[in-house]
Amino acid sequence: MGIAKNIVYILCAFLLILGLISLAGEVFYKISYKINRKRRKKLTPEEKEALRSKRREEFLKIATQHCALRNTMDRGLKVSDFTMDQMIEMYKEDTKEETIQMAVKHLGMTREEAIEKGFVHGSTQVSFEVERRRESKKLGREIDHKDLLDIYRERLANSEYPGPDCLEPWEAKEYIKNNKWPGEDKTAHIESCTGCHIMVDMEKPVVYPPPGPDCYTQAELDQVVETGSLSDGRLDHKNYCQQCKNKLSSSQQDFIQKMVPNQPYHPIDFDMDFGD
Ligand SMILES: [Zn+2]
Ligand SMILES: [Zn+2]
């Protein structure tokens, strides 16, 4: 009895200390953030821009490394067989090729035209051009990419979602959990509102069939988190099993996160608050 009590005390003390340490860290961070913000406020506009672009660059660097790791694993290759630079090079090559092929398919260009016009930076670039053409046709005049962004911005500002009848996320959760609306019946509303319809759909849990004998074991998934890869031949299973494909992808994501942590900044520092 006495020992159990002691263990509880020790555990409580331990948790208390842990809590205090993290609280102290948070307070310390906020104070240094405020001091830095004051310091940053005194910077000239050029210095501010330089700082911002440095931060953007760092962020881009991390994002590129993430994409390069993801690309290597999606190709079924072992991350340990390459250097980061090689993986980035491979990712850029793959992106380039994918973009060119998309431009050929969706923009009716020849391969040479696509390269010449610089369609090498990713599928978003092609989708954006498709949209630009569609909007130009609709408006009856040629618009450029900046105009398209302005149109998007305006639409977002004028969007009616969320309206007064729209669901709160917790209502969607409750509805899915109990198969019953917590307040008034919103069935008619979700049928007519795309935003709410999507929200309810997203709350629905994914139901998988029970795992088969070939399915990835927890030990295998742990191995992916640790090393980024599986034993030879085991990768193929994901092509036949959606459940394992998802699990594999999420373990790979954990591995990527471990290799290149993507939170170099505290969230409140992320937007570079200059106090202006
Ligand atoms: Zn709604
Ligand atoms: Zn499986």
CB 238 within 8 A of CB 214: no
Query: How many CB atoms within 10 Å of residue 227?
Result: 12
Tens of pLDDT, residue by residue over 175-215, are 998 888 988 899 999 998 888 999 999 888 888 888 899 99
The alpha carbon of 46 and the centre of ligand 1 are apart by a number of angstroms equal to 44
Spatial neighbors of 210 by CB under 8 A, at least 6 apart, are none
Q: Among all ligands shown, which has an atom nearest to the Cα of 199?
A: 1
C-alpha–C-alpha distance, residues 98 and 101, integer Å: 5
Tens of pLDDT, residue by residue over 122-177, are 999 999 999 999 999 999 999 999 999 999 889 888 887 888 889 988 999 999 98
C-alpha–C-alpha distance, residues 177 and 60, integer Å: 40
The alpha carbon of 199 and the centre of ligand 1 are apart by a number of angstroms equal to 9
Could you tell me the CA-to-CA distances from 156 to 112, 151, 159, 160, 198 in Å, in that order? 36, 9, 5, 9, 17
C-alpha–C-alpha distance, residues 242 and 55, integer Å: 38
Tens of pLDDT, residue by residue over 226-273, are 999 998 889 999 999 999 999 999 999 999 999 998 765 544 444 566
Q: What is the mean pLDDT of the chain?
A: 87
Tens of pLDDT, residue by residue over 25-49, are 777 777 777 777 777 778 888 888 8
Tens of pLDDT, residue by residue over 76-123, are 999 999 999 999 999 999 999 999 999 999 999 999 999 999 999 999
The alpha carbon of 91 and the centre of ligand 1 are apart by a number of angstroms equal to 40
- Can you tell me the mean pLDDT for 58-81? 93
pLDDT at 267: 44
| Residues, Cβ < 5 Å to ion ligand 1 | 166, 193, 196
C-alpha–C-alpha distance, residues 126 and 111, integer Å: 13
C-alpha–C-alpha distance, residues 75 and 11, integer Å: 46
Q: Among all ligands shown, which has an atom nearest to the Cα of 190?
A: 1
The alpha carbon of 71 and the centre of ligand 2 are apart by a number of angstroms equal to 22
- Gap between the terminal Cα atoms of the chain: 61
pLDDT at 35: 77
The alpha carbon of 182 and the centre of ligand 1 are apart by a number of angstroms equal to 16
pLDDT at 118: 95
CB 137 within 8 A of CB 131: no
As given in the structure block, the two tokens for residue 201 are 């759909």
Q: Among all ligands shown, which has an atom nearest to the Cα of 244?
A: 2
The alpha carbon of 124 and the centre of ligand 1 are apart by a number of angstroms equal to 28
With residues binned 3-state (H G I as helix, E B as strand, rest as coil), the percentages for the chain, rounded to 5, are: 70, 0, 30
As given in the structure block, the two tokens for residue 248 are 């594999």
CB 121 within 8 A of CB 114: no
Share of the chain above pLDDT 90, in %: 52
